Amino acid sequence: MSLSNSRRSTVTRLRERARTDRAELYAVLDAGLICHLGLIRDGAPVVVPTGYVRIGDTVYVHGSTGAGYVRNIDGAPVCLTVTHLDGIVYARSAFHHSMNYRSAVVHGVARAVTDAEEKSTALRSIVEQLAPGSWTHARRPDRRELAATAVFALDLAEASVKVRTGPPIDDDEDVAAGGRWAGVLPVRTIFERPQPAPTLVAGEPVPEHVRNR
């Protein structure tokens, strides 16, 4: 199944970076912790970073019912973008400097999730995307907490994926001229040693689901 063939989701530039395989869309989305959600407010775009999760062909985002952007989002056009920076591409020319990256851009209309089971599943999955193992380990949300949390859904009906990998693409003359370094400085996001909360009993071991991250 192709991702989409609408105009706005068709990559117009550097088409060789465009991917049309749904598995690649899933891979980019599933590897992320934060998305950037775009919406329109008073005629201007607003971009907010937030957690999310993909379940099948739907992306779920949650927010506090008190957050400005969550109000009136049901039925509103949104754009959800996830980007992974994989490397800085050093070319012989300033012009061909670039980045290695994977990005997914999803267009659609937000749907407020009101079904209790769908909402519960989405919240569990959002927590698990952020902190795998935590849904089992932590206290589950109570009725008051659920009511304070809004969840909305965005279908993966219209999306584009762009991926750049590999070395710089220099002009032949610049390669032939020599004397300038070219290559990639890989960028990676890592987890460091867990920092226990000061309210924990001293010496309490870090549980496996955190330690193994």
Q: How far is the CB of 51 from a second copy (least distance, A)?
A: 7
**What is the C-alpha to C-alpha distance for residues 66 and 148, in angstroms, rounded to an integer?**
8
Q: How far is the CB of 56 from a second copy (least distance, A)?
A: 22
For a second copy, the closer CB: 1 or 190: 190
For a second copy, the closer CB: 1 or 7: 7
For a second copy, the closer CB: 55 or 175: 175
Nearest-CA neighbor of 151 among 187, 118, 191? 118
Nearest-CA neighbor of 64 among 73, 76, 53? 73
Q: How far is the CB of 173 from a second copy (least distance, A)?
A: 9
Q: How far is the CB of 183 from a second copy (least distance, A)?
A: 4
Nearest-CA neighbor of 96 among 86, 105, 106, 88? 88
Q: How far is the CB of 152 from a second copy (least distance, A)?
A: 14
For a second copy, the closer CB: 21 or 177: 177
Q: How far is the CB of 168 from a second copy (least distance, A)?
A: 6
Residue 107: how many CB atoms within 10 A of its CB?
Answer: 21
Q: Measured at the alpha carbon of residue 86, what is the angle toward residues 180 and 156, in degrees to the nearest 5?
A: 140
Burial 76-91 (b: 16+ CB within 10 A, else e): eebbbbbbbebbebbb
Tokens 């010496």 map to which residue? 203
Q: Kindly state the tokens that stand for 153.
A: 């859904």
For a second copy, the closer CB: 23 or 190: 190
For a second copy, the closer CB: 117 or 142: 142
Q: What is the dihedral of CA 96, 12, 188, 106, to 10 degrees?
A: 160
